[in-house]
Amino acid sequence: MEVLEKKRQINYGEGINRDDFPILLETIRNHPVVYFDNAATTQKPKQVIDALVKYYEHDNANVHRAIHQLGERATAGFEKARNKVAEFINAHSDKEIIFTRGTTEAINLVATSWGRKFVESGDEIILSEMEHHSNLIPWQLLAKERGAHLRFIPFKEDGTIDYNEFIKLMNKNTKLIAITHMSNVFGTINPFKKIIRTAHDWGVPVLLDAAQSVPHLPVDVQQLDCDFLAFSGHKMLGPTGIGVLYAKTQLLENMDPYQGGGEMINTVWLEKATWNEIPHKFEAGTPNIAGAIGLAEAIDYLQDLTMETLTLYEQDITTYALEKMMALDGITIYGQAPERGGVVSFNLENVHPHDLAHFLDQHGIAVRAGHHCAQPIMRKLEIASTTRASFYFYNTYEEIDYFIDKLQEAAKFFAF
């Protein structure tokens, strides 16, 4: 089989060191953990864990305001992290990188700061039907407040969005397009290049929800020419509570602050204030300093491995998994996009996803079951939930084989 041939060519050991991940040595119910819930969050290498400990043991202080050594070290680490993120996604300048709590907060920031200023009654925002709730609810809130309308690009049976329908939705009232770069349910990598080009022809900015793409694919914001891009550190080996909003300088300059407080101001009077420069204008209060430093370490780790190696390996392991899964009796796989990442949503006939996830957990396999924060997708597919296996570069072909065995056992166990 072609995939098995490739398996021999891409040696798992090459550049990928599973021993860096202490948690992967854990046993769950007497079995080494098989962690297939990477779309929810990834595991952390000891380099990232050590960076957090090192920061708290040696450099901890508040950033930007302190006139002492520790404050200088903390500030240097935090700003170096910003520079690392900028370089990783090829932003034009560090000023275009705003640290947030994650993708969710980054999108809320745009909906609040950009949306409240520029979206008016009768305006339209185009989303797709396959958005995570994080890229849906902030726009629902904004649309309600401003009297704007949401329009949705439909997805087709194979889990790809319909570009032709997107074209039909564009009109003079369109104010923004906000779509997922890679679906957390179907694994689809959306035709964002064409979408961005078309949007810009209309003078409309594009936000990419990159929560699932930045951790798995090389992403170059200048090449993409997207206007906003949001992602989370915890899905790419980094700590929880840290994420990024990238936005073009001009947009950030024209936006109002997101939250008020310390750090985001320049001069303050009792009745008024002026704002700090970007990106600080959008970072009120003490930021997640350790989180940013941990994220920078995660990026170092990914860059050492190279995103190209990671992508190639993940594509291969996903093809391997998909081929084996498709051969199983009674399985439905949701999403068959030609361009896809390592997220596989499926159902086994007559087995409830929660029962299946529980059964797999009995054998040390961590998968997710539910609506994956995408209830509109489930509604359109006329199902309540799916089971989802999602891979990262530290997963192995042997783990996939074991998972397939257990799926077969589950099918027999629940057969009636």
Which positions from 85 to 104 touch ligand PMP by CB under 6 A, shown as an x/- string? Answer: -----------------xxx
- Provide the 10 A C-beta neighbour count for residue 325: 18
Judged by beta carbon, residue 16 or residue 102, the one nearer ligand PMP is: 102
Q: What is the DSSP letter of 191?
A: -
Which positions from 47 to 86 touch ligand PMP by CB under 6 A, shown as an x/- string? Answer: ----------------------------------------
Q: Could you tell me if 199 and 177 are in contact, meaning their C-beta atoms sit under 8 angstroms apart?
A: yes
- CA-CA distance, 246 to 85, in Å (whole number)? 9
Q: Which of 10, 49, 66, 373 is flagged as catalytic?
A: 373
Q: How many residues sit close enough to ligand PMP to count as binding (CB under 6 A)?
A: 15
User: Which residues, 303 to 342, sit near ligand PMP by CB under 6 A?
Assistant: none
User: Which residues, 373 to 402, sit near ligand PMP by CB under 6 A?
Assistant: 373
The pair of three-digit structure tokens given for residue 194, joined into one six-digit string: 């064409």
Give min distance, CB of 115 to ligand PMP, in A.
17
Among 232, 315, 318, 386, binds ligand PMP (CB under 6 A): 232
Q: Does 184 bind ligand PMP (CB under 6 A)?
A: yes
- Provide the 10 A C-beta neighbour count for residue 90: 14
Which positions from 103 to 132 touch ligand PMP by CB under 6 A, shown as an x/- string? Answer: xx---------------------------x
Among 110, 211, 221, 299, binds ligand PMP (CB under 6 A): 211
CA proximity to 226, closest of 262, 260, 190, 253 = 190
Positive or negative CA dihedral for 177, 132, 394, 304?
positive
CA proximity to 258, closest of 381, 109, 131 = 109
Among 134, 188, 190, 347, binds ligand PMP (CB under 6 A): 134
Q: How far are the Cα atoms of 21, 105, 171, 201, 399 from residue 174, in angstroms, in the given order?
A: 45, 23, 6, 12, 46
CA 61 to chain centre: 29
The pair of three-digit structure tokens given for residue 400, joined into one six-digit string: 């996939």
Judged by beta carbon, residue 39 or residue 109, the one nearer ligand PMP is: 39
Among 59, 209, 227, 297, binds ligand PMP (CB under 6 A): 209
Residue 226: active-site member: no
The pair of three-digit structure tokens given for residue 213, joined into one six-digit string: 């793409």
The pair of three-digit structure tokens given for residue 340, joined into one six-digit string: 């896809």
- Site residues (vs ligand PMP, CB under 6 A): 39-40, 102-104, 132, 134-135, 180, 184, 209, 211-212, 232, 373
- Residues known to be catalytic: 373
